[in-house]
Each structure stands twice: as structure tokens, then as C-alpha cells.
């Protein structure tokens, strides 16, 4: 089946630093990748939609200058949290939708990245 | 845009009993409704989905029903087992949502042995 990986799985950083999270579709090409944020015991909050080769579309209230998204290839999207602060601590999950076939109709989730900002 | 509501937020059942989780959606054009199971600290996993041209779909102990007129769909888990304990999310997608899934708020299911 379609597999999505995410790296790193956990990251702890100091306030003011930037953190990059990678999302990769391992066995299919992903035209669209989604970035979600999830707080404890809460639902998935869509942050942005990224399409390969074009600018990401951000949801209302999400600062695009703080959460930089790059979808440089059909198998890789990155989320960079710039100048991270403790309130950015959260579980970040990506998902990918494929070009065709089964992976086109479904979203496949990465395992998530736990970000802790001290 | 689409708005998906999910109830209940928490649900406890005795092992062997059935569990039902309900979702409503607002956009009548939405045509794809997946259900995801998320265990603590792990990724959401698709467990079953239904498209708008079907009223019911079943996969072993899991079934989903869809009422397009009322714009609601439900997840049914029969003969629940402790390993069914997790958070379950419904979602909706359609031509008006682009590629996006709109997720419900989640239901934390606990199956008591």
C-alpha cells in the first residue's frame, strides 16, 4: 500500500530556532500533500495544502511566513517552523494524495512529528 | 465550506457490545466519507470509507452507513474488543472542498474488558 514517512519523529529545540520537518511518499507520487497540526485530544487541524511545483495554500489564521512549506518534488514536502516558540509545540502530521489509482482517492498519513519548543 | 460535526466526543462500551459514532456534514455535494482510527501518538489509519452512490458498506465488524438526504453518516463497530480503543475521526470531501478532507472533532472510544 501507499506509505508516507515523516522525519524527524521527535524534535526538541530552543525558542527562536527553526525546525524542518520532511514528509515523503515512499511508493507513490503525491501531487498534493497536506500539513496538519494536532493538539492533545483534539482533531486534526489543516494548516496548509501544498501542490508540487506551486505555492502552498494556507488555511485562515496560519502564518505563512512562520510555517514555510516547500513541495519541491512529487515525493517530498517540507514544513519549516521558523523562530519557534513554546506555543508552537504540537504534533505535526502530513498526508499525501497520489497522482492516480488508489492513492488518488485517499489521503495517506505520515507517522507525525512531535515538536517541543523549550 | 464544508462543516463536519461528530458525536459523541467520548464513548465507553463493554467488550462485546456495539459502538456507534455519528457525523453530519453541511455540503450536499460532498461525495466521499472516510473513517480514520488513531491510536495514541500514532498516525490516523483509514479503516473504512463510503462514497455517495452507496448507502452502506461493511467490512467484518465495521460498517458505515450514509444518508445523503439527511447528510449524515455513521460508523458501526460490532463485537467490540479492547484493541478497538482509539480515537476515531470521520471526514468528508467533495468537489467543493478541492483536495481537502474536512475532519470531525473525533470520538475517543474505550472498550472495557
Note the pLDDT of residue A100: 64
Chain A residues inside the 8 Å CB shell of B45: 109
| CA pair distance A75, B87, nearest whole angstrom | 28
Nearest chain A CA: its distance from B103 CA (Å): 7
Cβ neighbours, 10 Å, residue A99: 14
Rounded to an integer, the average pLDDT of B43-69 is 94
HSE-CB for B75 with a 13 A CA cutoff? 29
Residue B94 CB partners (closer than 8 Å, separation 6+): B2, B27, B29, B30, B31, B32
Chain A residues inside the 8 Å CB shell of B108: 41
Residue B19 CB partners (closer than 8 Å, separation 6+): B11, B13, B76, B77, B80, B84, B109, B111
Asked if A34's CB is within 8 angstroms of B100's CB, the reply is yes
Q: How far is CA A2 from CA A24, A50, A74, in A?
A: 11, 18, 14
Question: What is the maximum span of chain B, computed from C-alpha positions, in angstroms?
Answer: 43
Nearest Cα residue in chain B from A34: B100
Note the pLDDT of residue A66: 96
Asked if A105's CB is within 8 angstroms of B100's CB, the reply is no
Note the pLDDT of residue A99: 64
Is residue A105's pLDDT more than 70? no
Rounded to an integer, the average pLDDT of B37-62 is 92
Asked if A109's CB is within 8 angstroms of B43's CB, the reply is yes
Per the model's pLDDT, the better-predicted residue between A13 and A29 turns out to be: A13
| CA pair distance B11, A22, nearest whole angstrom | 35
Asked if B43's CB is within 8 angstroms of A93's CB, the reply is yes
Asked if A43's CB is within 8 angstroms of B89's CB, the reply is yes
Is residue B22's pLDDT more than 80? yes
Is residue A104's pLDDT more than 80? no
Which DSSP state fits A89?
-
Which DSSP state fits A105?
H
Is residue B86's pLDDT more than 60? yes
Asked if A43's CB is within 8 angstroms of B103's CB, the reply is yes
Q: Is B98 on the interface with A (CB under 8 A)?
A: yes
Is residue B96's pLDDT more than 80? no
Nearest Cα residue in chain A from B10: A41
Does a cis peptide bond (omega within 30 degrees of 0) precede residue B100?
no
Amino acid at each position: 500500500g501507499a506509505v508516507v514517512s515523516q522525519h524527524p519523529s521527535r524534535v526538541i529545540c530552543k525558542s527562536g530556532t527553526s525546525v524542518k520537518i520532511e514528509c515523503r511518499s515512499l511508493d507513490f507520487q503525491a501531487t498534493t500533500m497536506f500539513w496538519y497540526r494536532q493538539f492533545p485530544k483534539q482533531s486534526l487541524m489543516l494548516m496548509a495544502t501544498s501542490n508540487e511545483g506551486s505555492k502552498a495554500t494556507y488555511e485562515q489564521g496560519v502564518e505563512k511566513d512562520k510555517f514555510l512549506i516547500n513541495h519541491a518534488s512529487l515525493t517530498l514536502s517540507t514544513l519549516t517552523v521558523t523562530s519557534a516558540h513554546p506555543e508552537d509545540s504540537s504534533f505535526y502530521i502530513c498526508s499525501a494524495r497520489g497522482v492516480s489509482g488508489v492513492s488518488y482517492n485517499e489521503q495517506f498519513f505520515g507517522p507525525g512529528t512531535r515538536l517541543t519548543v523549550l | 465550506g464544508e462543516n463536519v460535526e461528530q458525536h459523541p466526543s467520548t464513548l465507553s462500551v463493554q467488550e462485546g457490545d456495539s459502538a456507534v459514532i455519528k457525523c453530519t456534514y453541511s455540503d450536499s455535494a460532498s461525495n466521499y466519507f472516510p473513517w480514520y482510527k488513531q491510536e495514541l501518538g500514532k498516525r490516523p489509519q483509514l479503516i473504512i470509507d463510503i462514497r455517495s452512490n452507496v448507502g452502506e458498506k461493511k467490512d467484518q465488524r465495521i460498517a458505515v452507513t450514509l444518508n445523503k438526504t439527511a447528510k449524515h453518516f455513521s460508523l458501526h463497530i460490532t463485537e467490540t474488543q479492547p484493541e478497538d480503543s482509539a480515537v476515531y475521526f470521520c471526514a468528508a470531501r467533495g468537489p467543493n472542498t478541492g483536495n481537502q478532507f474536512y475532519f470531525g472533532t473525533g470520538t475517543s472510544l474505550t472498550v472495557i474488558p
